[in-house]
């Protein structure tokens, strides 16, 4: 298949057991098309974070396979898979650890073999894309930034590697409403640039307002997969151990009220 037409990600019958024997994923099938905005939804312990770690080969399935841009991830293409799929961890402090923001952002490109000049160019561009100012922040230690800024620096670190797919684990956790909006604007811009996005979350409001497609996971099993409108199907969300987005529940309860009152 032409790489222009192939899906961005395919999981086929993926199972994963942790070394202590805990079964985190059982027979997971999922297909994410290029340019899609996919939410992977489920309650705590559903296997979402484990699945995210599968997407670029950081974790390898106990059985089954993960395909990126038409190629099954294996020992011969792991580095390539990590370049294609960038992972943004839930906690930016697991990801941003260099003494300065600039160093942190240059780290990935350097690892890819870029020259110092190219690494700096990519770092600057990545910071611009997350709407942060290089002149103000480049020399600052990441730990002195706000949580929302650290989160955006973590995303910039991934962007500096120019991945085609970005998977984000609970990207809006612990953000205040304006920081959440700013982050969603960044994701919208990336989507506009053709980047494929997969967001792992239990936040049905986030999924409802942002995603095109959804995969519902529960106890390591896909319970439903399809259009975002599945989120408004009470039977599906109940099966997934979640609830419908707030405004759909309010509508069922006769909300919003009529203004002005009749």
Q: Which residues bind ligand ADP (CB under 6 A)?
A: 18, 20, 22, 24, 42, 44-50
Nearest CB to ligand ADP, comparing residues 10 and 54: 54
Shortest Cβ distance from residue 171 to ligand ADP (Å)?
A: 13
98 forms beta bridges with none
Provide the minimum distance between the beta carbon of 202 and ligand ADP in the complex, in angstroms, as a whole number: 7
* Residue number with CB closer to ligand ADP (48 or 150): 48
In the complex, the smallest distance separating the C-beta of residue 145 from ligand ADP, rounded to whole angstroms, is: 26
Question: Angle, nearest 10°, between helix axes 116-129 and 177-192?
Answer: 120
- Closest separation between CB of residue 22 and ligand ADP, Å? 4
Residue 50 vs 95, nearer CB to ligand ADP: 50
Query: Cα(36)–Cα(49) distance, rounded to whole angstroms?
Result: 19
- Which residue in the block uniquely carries the two structure tokens 């409403």? 177
Residue 231's φ and ψ, nearest 5 degrees, are -65, -20
Minimum CB distance to ligand ADP smaller for 42 or for 57: 42
d(CA 220, CA 54): 13
Which residue in 228, 232, 257, 230 sits closest to 246, CA to CA? 232
Closest to ligand ADP by CB, 23 or 110: 23
Q: Closer to ligand ADP by CB, 24 or 230: give it.
A: 24
Alpha carbon separation from 93 to 145, 152, 158 (Å, rounded):
11, 12, 14
| Cβ contact 232:245 at 8 Å | yes
Least distance CB 38 / ligand ADP (angstroms):
15
In this structure, are residues 27 and 221 in contact, taking their beta carbons and an 8 Å threshold?
Answer: yes
Rounded to a whole number of angstroms, the minimum distance from the CB of residue 2 to ligand ADP is 34
Q: Rg of the chain over CA atoms, in angstroms?
A: 19
């Amino acid at each position: 298949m032409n790489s222009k037409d192939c899906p961005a990600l395919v999981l086929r019958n993926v199972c994963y057991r942790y070394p202590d024997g805990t079964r985190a994923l059982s027979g997971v099938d999922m297909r994410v098309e290029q340019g899609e905005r996919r939410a992977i939804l489920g309650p705590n312990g559903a296997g979402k974070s484990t699945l995210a770690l599968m997407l670029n080969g950081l974790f390898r399935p106990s059985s089954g396979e993960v395909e990126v841009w038409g190629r099954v991830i294996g020992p011969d293409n792991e580095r390539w898979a990590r370049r294609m799929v960038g992972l943004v961890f839930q906690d930016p402090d697991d990801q941003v650890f260099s003494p300065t923001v600039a160093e942190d952002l240059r780290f990935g490109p350097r690892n890819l073999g870029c020259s110092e000049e190219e690494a700096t160019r990519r770092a600057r561009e990545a910071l611009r894309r997350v709407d942060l100012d290089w002149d103000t922040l480049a020399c600052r230690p990441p730990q002195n930034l706000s949580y929302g800024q650290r989160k955006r620096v973590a995303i910039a670190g991934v962007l500096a590697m120019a991945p085609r797919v970005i998977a984000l684990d609970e990207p809006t956790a612990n953000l205040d409403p304006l920081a959440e909006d700013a982050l969603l604007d960044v994701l919208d811009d990336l989507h506009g640039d053709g980047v494929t996005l997969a967001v792992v979350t239990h936040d049905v409001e986030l999924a409802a307002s942002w995603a095109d497609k959804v995969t519902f996971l529960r106890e390591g099993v896909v319970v439903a997969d399809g259009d975002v409108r599945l989120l408004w199907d009470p039977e599906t969300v109940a099966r997934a151990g979640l609830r419908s987005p707030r405004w759909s529940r309010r509508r069922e309860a006769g909300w919003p009220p009529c203004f002005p009152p009749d």
